[in-house]
Structure 1
Amino acid sequence: MENFLGDISRSVQLSDDINRLLEVRTNPHSGRGVITKIDCSENQLVFLEEPLVLGPSNDPTSEFCCVLCYKILGTTTYNQCESCSLPICSEKCLNQSSGIWHLRMECPLLAKSRSSISAQVLLSTRSWLAPVRALILKLIDKPKWGQLLQLEHHLNERRNCAILQRQQALVWFAIQQLAVVETTQEEIRQVCGIFDSNAFRFGVSREIRALYTLVSLINHDCRPSTRVIFDTQFKARLSARRTIRSGEELTITYVSPLLNTRERREKLQRSKHFTCTCTRCEDPTEFGTHFSSLRCPKCIKGHLVDNDLPSCDNCSFKTTKEKVQCLMTALSLKQEKALRKSDSTSLENILGIYLKALSDNHSLVIDLKQKLLSNLNRENKLQTWKRRLQLNQEVINLLDRIDGSNSRQMGFLQYQRQCFFVIRLAHMQRLKTTCQNGVQESDEYERTDWLIGELEKSLSLATKLLKHDINCPEELKRHQVK
């Protein structure tokens, strides 16, 4: 594995020799993993890695985009590369680093088949371009092609996967027209499997997907030791979320922390083909948050922990898993009905019903609070700012307990929080009540000094967590400049 790390060192930016800092080990439980050979302090940049392969995402929710800078394009009017006809946003893109690579490596191969490329293939670039770029590595960069083939593809587990079969068919259809590289159906299937198992999707509407050699080797934990973000140059930045000791395995999360244990495990089993046994997954209370627990109908104060025989942790009440499932089905139907109405009053009503049956931090409660918050933000009424702040803070408090305060998702929640203080301060300014004693001191929500202090705290935290992120809000970028 030392040679493997040496092979990828040209794509990873480190302060010293990569072999001195990291090693790849294999264990029977989690397969290959990345181990640090040095101590890492909280927020330390562990490494910065360039993508192995980069292309448009095949996510059905992603937008049609430029194949060089990934700016969203319209599907009716867009510019094209004069040589190969691929969609681009402007000629300026061709002068950027990705454009130079395109003109030197990719474009000459694609240009040979320009006359035979159909409009259907051009409009479906997100379905085939990234795998085709991977296949082109066989011709232009054999070391990178070798690195790609070392990534997991899980073809045995995906043998009957309809989605993978469809992706393979789309790439094969494009290859037949492009004729850029000799390949086989099985090789295309392997490459598509590698993308499905290892690709990261990011951007405004997840319009970019990329493979990274080293980041792709890092294993999952539901409360990981590191976080990975993607910057405006599409590089993966791996930073320590806490102090990491020499000899410890680096971990990232593959799923949202705001999924409960059953949802996380199902998603990981479906997409990554393993069952997570991390500390959080093995704790039925999920660090004491009761993220999957029901409220005890007998004593009210206790919780029915989600296990084979749900029982109250405060009294002697017991029930069956079947009864719990019936209750959850009924609550889900109520939620669907309320969401169809899509007004905040209906969501508040269903939230009240939830809180009578579910724990305060149940995943359904948190999910509904976020939907309610989104609705209130869309309505943008000044009189609801305090309620919005409250909902935001409740999600922050929950996330801090299950995932810590040093995550990308926390960054966006803190950014949202500071926006609420901006709204309130702007309103107070308009009312000319910003003088020191212009409002009642008894209510901290009306004290200018408290509002400004909380705003600055959230702004600082959001900036620290998102300053390199490709989706960093413009306000935070301006704050960094100051």
Structure 2
Amino acid sequence: MQDYSEKLNDVYDEQLGRHLVASMSIEAGETLLDERPLLVAPHWECGQLKCAQCLQESYVMCRKCQVYPLCMDCSEHDAFECEFFASGAGSRISKDLLVKNYGICALLKLLLLLEQPDQRALCQTLLDTPVKLEDYRNEDGLWQERDEQVVRPLMSSGLVQAFPDQQLTAEVLHAHCIRIDNSAYEVTARDGDTLKGVYVRGASLPHSCVPNTVVALDEQFNMKLYAAVPLESGDIIYTSYTNPLMGTSQRQHQLRLSRHKECACTRCLDATELNTHMSSMKCRGCPDGYAVCQLSGSGDWRCLNASCGAVIPATEVHELLAEVGSALVEARGELSAYETLLDQHKQLLHPNHFLLLDIKQNIASILRAASLMNSLNDPCKKLLARRVELCGDLLPVCRAVVPGLSKLYAIALFEYLLAFVELTELQFAEGDVNKKEYVAQLTRARSVAKEALDLLQFEPENSAEGFLTDRIGVELERIESDLMKYGKL
């Protein structure tokens, strides 16, 4: 199923390929596209068997086909897939095909869809996507890994002979794998594991690091694409395939690796990254200056202060980033290690630098877990205040890099809200703030909760963000109850 808004035109050009363009004005929150996934499957490297029906961990096989795994709660799976291996050409395939080579799961699903006349039409847009295999052969081990985990096992399994009309060769299978990856979003199973969902249109939209749409996925992995900001006639519909909390060079690397594309959006062309300075360094030549990358020049970092202009060589910056990145991996969830890292590098990097934000997020997560464990024992105001500070540091950055109806900003607001309310309640209980101050802080918390709810109002009810909306609603009710109780000054 692919249902488009009547306010969109499906167009094609050499640069962007097939894409969508607004044909009239569109308000923020309007649905632009509804799409069911063509297929949902584990990543290529997944070794743990997953139930063919619900995609949770499985240790038993379907009694009928004896090829596909099923969990204890599921008694059947896709009828065509089951029948294919239970009878006909598929019955001659080894029954331990997926047990030994579970990485072929996504490709096998596509091949079986292509065997069904009513499903093949849904796959045609995917098949029509041109793939230049020479652009992928020299990837950093990815081609070889896919060859060993997916293509060669499938070629030697006998499945090629079972699909004579598809004229399968190793190169055809590699091209199919690339098309699957290039049309996939990461989705989350009910057990929390990450999978990939293939969306023929939703995942083929052109990329921008400052997208004008929001992707929402419900529990059945159905996609809803809606406008993040008001759109005008002629506006191209963009989505994002990168992490917005990465710096420009890191986002570009991720995009080249996953999509073989370059980005020239407003953020990528702005050395300050929309004034967030997420890649900026502290200047070594003046006390208050910040150095940004010379995007069109040498690639060195130069101070923005016109009276300074000091330069930090690109090699020095890259060495520092690699050093901090390695230290982050080695920190392994240790609070003291993250605090030490933050203290060591805040003198060298802009406060909003993406690596410092990463460190702060790790610290905030540890403090939240500690707060949950100690909530019934001895909550610590000092740790709560630290968590509020760290969550607050993230808010303006999230607001800047994902405009409009931003799930990123809404989630950041929720994390801030939890910490702020917990600290406020503790301060009031221990007499650190009086009733008037408590009411003022609760009023602020109410505003934060309502802002988060406004940002998530277009999310499906049966999605992770829909459930988050319920959580925020519960917090808001608690806040309103205390405001009613203590607000009569």
Shorter-chain TM-score: which interval?
0.7 to 0.9
2:99 is aligned to 122
Give 1:15-30 correspondences, 5 Å limit: 16=6, 21-27=8-14, 29-30=15-16
1:198 and 1:397 map into 2 onto residues whose CA distance is 32
Of 267, 270, 274, 1:280 maps to 267
Change (3 A) 1:166 1:333: closer
2:408 and 2:55 map into 1 onto residues whose CA distance is 23
| DSSP 3-state at the match of 2:260 | coil
1:269 and 1:128 map into 2 onto residues whose CA distance is 24
Of 274, 283, 287, 1:296 maps to 283
Q: Which stretches in structure 1 are left out of the alignment for 5+ residues? A: 1-10
How far did 1:220 drift? Answer: 0.3
Matched, 1:306 2:297: no
Matched, 1:349 2:340: yes
How far did 1:280 drift? Answer: 0.9
| DSSP 3-state at the match of 2:203 | helix
Query: If the length of structure 2 is used for normalisation, what is the TM-score?
Result: 0.81
**Aligned partners of 2:242 and 2:251 also within 8 Å:** yes
2:108 is aligned to 132
1:135 and 1:200 map into 2 onto residues whose CA distance is 20
Matched, 1:266 2:253: yes
1:88 is aligned to 70
Deviation string for 1:1-21 (max 9, x for gaps)? xxxxxxxxxx213465xxx73
1:37 is aligned to 23
Amino acid corresponding to residue 51 of structure 1 in structure 2? P
Matched, 1:222 2:209: yes
1:202 is aligned to 187
| DSSP 3-state at the match of 1:23 | strand
1:328 and 1:376 map into 2 onto residues whose CA distance is 30
Change (3 A) 1:330 1:455: closer
Change (3 A) 1:263 1:468: farther
2:18 and 2:263 map into 1 onto residues whose CA distance is 15
**Percentage identity across aligned positions?**
21
**Aligned partners of 2:427 and 2:433 also within 8 Å:** no
Change (3 A) 1:447 1:154: farther
1:164 and 1:477 map into 2 onto residues whose CA distance is 43
| DSSP 3-state at the match of 2:114 | helix
How far did 1:242 drift? Answer: 0.3
**Aligned partners of 1:225 and 1:241 also within 8 Å:** yes
Amino acid corresponding to residue 248 of structure 2 in structure 1? T
Change (3 A) 1:117 1:474: farther
1:5 is aligned to none
Give 1:73-472 correspondences, 5 Å limit: 73=57, 77-78=59-60, 80=62, 82-92=64-74, 94=76, 99=77, 102-103=78-79, 105-112=80-87, 113=90, 116-119=93-96, 121-122=98-99, 124-125=101-102, 127-141=103-117, 142-161=120-139, 162-169=141-148, 170-174=150-154, 176-178=157-159, 180-182=162-164, 183-204=168-189, 205=192, 207-307=194-294, 308=298, 309-322=300-313, 324-326=314-316, 329-330=319-320, 332-333=322-323, 336-337=326-327, 340-341=330-331, 342-380=333-371, 382-383=379-380, 384-421=383-420, 423-424=422-423, 427=426, 431=429, 439-440=433-434, 447=440, 449-450=442-443, 452-454=445-447, 456-457=449-450, 459-461=452-454, 463-464=456-457, 466-468=459-461, 470-472=463-465
| DSSP 3-state at the match of 2:53 | coil
| DSSP 3-state at the match of 2:243 | coil
| DSSP 3-state at the match of 1:356 | coil
How far did 1:222 drift? Answer: 0.8
| DSSP 3-state at the match of 1:35 | strand
Q: Which moved more, 1:292-301 or 1:175-184?
A: 175-184
How far did 1:37 drift? Answer: 1.7
| DSSP 3-state at the match of 1:33 | strand
Matched, 1:12 2:12: no
2:385 and 2:411 map into 1 onto residues whose CA distance is 18
**Aligned partners of 2:54 and 2:74 also within 8 Å:** no
Query: If the length of structure 1 is used for normalisation, what is the TM-score?
Result: 0.82
Deviation string for 1:353-393 (max 9, x for gaps)? 32212112111211211122122223226321222122112
Change (3 A) 1:145 1:447: closer
Number of residue pairs aligned between Structure 1 and Structure 2: 449
2:121 and 2:321 map into 1 onto residues whose CA distance is 54
2:41 is aligned to 55
Change (3 A) 1:91 1:337: closer
Q: Which moved more, 1:419-428 or 1:406-415?
A: 419-428
Amino acid corresponding to residue 142 of structure 2 in structure 1? I
1:138 and 1:331 map into 2 onto residues whose CA distance is 46
2:145 and 2:328 map into 1 onto residues whose CA distance is 35
1:4 is aligned to none
